[in-house]
Structure 1
Amino acid sequence: MTTAARSRSHSAISPVFLGIAAVMAVTGWAVWTDFAASPGLAVFLFVVSAWIVSLCLHEYAHARTALHGGDISVGAKGYLTLNPLKYTHALLSIVLPVIFVIMGGIGLPGGAVFIERNRISGRWKHSLISAAGPLTNVLFAAVCTAPFWLGALDGVPVAFRFALAFLAMLQVTAAILNFLPVPGLDGYGVIEPWLSYKVRRQVEPIAPFGLIIVFVVLFIPEVNGMFFDAVYGIMQALGVDELGIYCGRDLFEFWNGQDEFCAVRA
């Protein structure tokens, strides 16, 4: 196989990703048209598949930026195919974030792809590689909320509007959490190149536990309240009210039965 052919095979979109995207499209259509017998199940499948798509794009953004920064190994590792099964930490990158969405309705960040940092020179490049992932979540949130902040909700079915509101909230929480300057998260990766060698060595042992630390801290009621106040403040600025998010989550958690208040509006 020639070098050009290998390059194309390394960047060809994976059938696995295309299948997930197809589920997102079909279930999104089912929610839009009210075709499904159970709108809650359709919303659940739409949000979960869209969430997995966003996770794939998050990791792809890291890999693509690293490729342009000088790490040509990301292609051979399959990171450019958008295949979630190729990620170094598939459990952290895909499985656990989906479980946390189902259990708690929060977009918890996952583990990043493995970048060979020694191939990349320049602090700005390293920072940009780390920032690329959460910036993808920011972009995803902007797309989901576009009908709201553009005032283009006329003709958008209410159930689909609720689903978009909840999905956008997940993206906002993921972006905020990812940008936290905690070792092991992307936010720390942004500032790490600018820290002294001594500081980096001191915080290095914390990195494997960064995600766990964030998760535990979020269980503190005061911290949890401040965090979600910030999330809802951002969502409000994007034109999405708390009621829409609540009803979106209510539809998503179809196994709990739909709240009559939201059912009337949907």
Structure 2
Amino acid sequence: MAGAAQQRISPVFLGIAAVTAVAGWGVWTDFAAQPGFATFLFVTGAWVVSLCLHEYAHARTALHSGDISIGAKGYLTLNPLKYTHALLSIVLPVLFVIMGGIGLPGGAVFIERGRIRGRWRHSLISAAGPLTNVLFALVCTAPFWLHALDGVPPAFRNALGFLALLQVTAAILNFLPVPGLDGYGVIEPWLSYSVRRSVEPIAPFGLIAVFALLWIPELNAVFFDAVYAVLRSLGVHRFWVDCGLDAYRFWQGASPVCAIGG
């Protein structure tokens, strides 16, 4: 099993969490000179924190399933710089958020699957990441479905709504049975060897293919209708989410509708 030093939380992660907390305080108190920039820092920081927790869930589950090499790779420190592909794990997901308002974690931790016995364990390792996004979404939306919004500033409420949208989209997309995504990882152990071998070459392109398909207006509309339906069931109005996205993209200028409606 991993030693204490291999599980010590990284200063890099603590720094990201601290910036997120300060930015969140700026959004809550409206203290920042540029409230839109504070929203950008808060949502981006919280999104990166959730990415780290997503990958940590994969790693921790793999460790308890038999891959004792996880600790030596630094995956249990929550340090995003330790991931196998920092570009896929952090940079691209943040760009996806900026470009399309879509939360989509990328591939990150390298798991030595040969050390793990049992198909259920392999499936659970893959499911652990998006299940973390589900939990994160429930936490973000707790003030909404608990009807505890009294006293919550509109700017912070909107930022939470947009952050919840990112978590819901991440959970839904990652559970798709597309090669390269966690959903395929859940079902892969149950497929025949020949099917797995034939799919293997296209797995690296699954993430990009999904993002490209979401640029098709018809598919994009269907997908986001489903996302907003989930958010409505959790008490989050679309107006709040859209205003959160509007504040997040502060460089485009504030929408008069959001400024008036709060």
Shorter-chain TM-score: what band? over 0.9
Look up the match of 1:69. 65
Q: Which runs of 4+ in 1 moved over 2 A?
A: none
2:86/2:108 contact within 8 Å kept? no
- Counterpart Cα distance in 2 of 1:245 and 1:42: 16
Q: 1:10–1:75: 8 Å Cα contact kept in structure 2?
A: yes
Determine the structure 2 residue equivalent to 1:176. Answer: 172
Other-structure match for 2:211: 215
| 1:202 shift after superposition | 1.6
The superposition leaves residues 124-165 of structure 1 with CA deviations (integer Å, 9 ceiling, x where unpaired) of 100000000000011000000000001000111110000000
Determine the C-alpha separation between the residues in 2 that align with 1:210 and 1:145: 29
Partner of 2:163: 167
**TM-score relative to the length of structure 1:** 0.96
Indicate which of 147, 150, 153 corresponds to 2:146.
150
Counterpart of 2:82 (choices 74, 81, 86) is: 86
| Distance in 1, Cα, partners of 2:87 & 2:233 | 33
**Aligned residue for 1:234?**
230
Identity percentage over the alignment? Answer: 77
Q: Which residue of 2 aligns with 1:117?
A: 113
1:180, distance to aligned residue in structure 2 (A): 0.5
* Equivalent position to 1:251, from 232, 241, 247: 247
**C-alpha RMSD of the superposition:** 1.1
Q: In structure 2, what is the Cα distance between the partners aligned to 1:22 and 1:265?
A: 31
- TM-score, normalised on structure 2? 0.98
Where structure 2 has 5 or more consecutive residues not aligned to the other structure, the ranges are none
- Aligned counterparts of 2:228 and 2:58: Cα–Cα separation in 1: 27
> Does the 8 A contact of 2:228 with 2:238 survive in 1?
yes
SS of match in other structure, 1:113: coil
Instruction: Please point out which of 28, 38, 54 is paired with 1:42.
Output: 38
Contact 1:109–1:177 (Cα < 8 Å) also in 2:
no
User: CA shift at 1:8, angstroms?
Assistant: 1.1
Residue pair 2:36, 2:249 contacting (<8 A) in 1 also: yes
Any stretches of 5+ residues in structure 1 without a counterpart? none
Task: Classify the secondary structure of the residue corresponding to 2:211.
Answer: helix
Figure out how many residues of one structure are paired with residues of the other and give that number: 262
